[in-house]
Amino acid sequence: MPPRIAGLLWTEEAERHVAEHIDPDEIDELIGGRDFFLFANRPGHPPNRWRAIGRIPGGAYVTAVLEEPDDGDPMNWRPVTGWRSDHFERRMYQAWRRGR
C-alpha cells in the first residue's frame, strides 16, 4: 500500500525546478485536493520517490514526483519535479478512478 501524504515541504531549489515545467501551486492543489493516486517511481530512480498522478480543481492532469520523508512524517514530503500528465499517465489515472 502506498504511504499517506498529508503535506509538502518545499525547498527553494524544488520550487524553482518545478516552475520550469508547471506552476508549483498545481502540485499543492493536487495533493490538497486528494484526487490522485500514488505509485512507486520508475525503475532506476531512487526508491524513496513516488509519482502522484491526478487532476487539480481546474481540470488539468498533473504528475508530480515526490520524495518520501525519511522520518516517516506524512507532512514532510518533498516535491522533486512535476509536469502536465501525458496521455499514458492520464489513462492510468482514469483506470484508477474506475477501479476505486
**What global pTM score does this model have?**
0.89
Q: What is the pLDDT of residues 27-82, one digit of tens each?
A: 999 999 988 998 887 788 888 899 999 999 999 999 999 999 888 777 889 999 99
Look at residue 64 in the predicted model and tell me its pLDDT. 97
Q: What is the DSSP letter of 77?
A: B
**61 vs 78: CA distance, rounded Å:** 20
